[in-house]
Structure 1
């Protein structure tokens, strides 16, 4: 089954349609023509996690200071790259 792809603009305008699609199969969300996110139904997500995927979802309050600093650096880098692409 091939993945559908939508832009962040599509997500803003057609969120309901995109959510319906994501309930059937993973949907890629792109920004500036680069894949940035994947939206998928919870059953597929839980199955992926069971298969030993090391990624995890946590609440922001559970992050350590080091993890928060790393996240802030990654966000700053993303913003600077996004700003450079707008020029």
Structure 2
């Protein structure tokens, strides 16, 4: 998991780009604009790891659901099926 890094403004990025890039090589760095997070700089290894985790073919499928969560989901579906329509 990525650990949180430093936070810098876009002005800081203009003035201290070398230092910020060096930090981003160690861990993700947030860039803010008007005090709101706008960008994240991260090293290529972290980026590639995130991209490998993302697989559009399996996102949100029952196959990718952790077992405990799947059990809770199935129990909720069963409970819903046992209620009569007047209670829905």
TM-score tier, shorter chain, comes to 0.5 to 0.7
TM-score, structure 1 as length reference: 0.59
Over the residues paired in the alignment, what is the CA RMSD in angstroms? 1.3
Equivalence map 1:10-25=2 (5 Å): 10-25=12-27
Q: CA deviation at 1:53?
A: 6.0
Q: Give the gaps of 5 or more residues in structure 2.
A: 57-88
- Higher percent of residues as helix: 1
Number of equivalences: 54
Give the 3-state SS of the residue equivalent to 1:17 in structure 2.
helix
2:23 is aligned with 1:4: no
Distance in 2 between residues matched to 1:47 and 1:40, nearest whole Å = 11
Shift of 1:3: 1.8
Tell me which structure has the larger Cα radius of gyration. Answer: 2
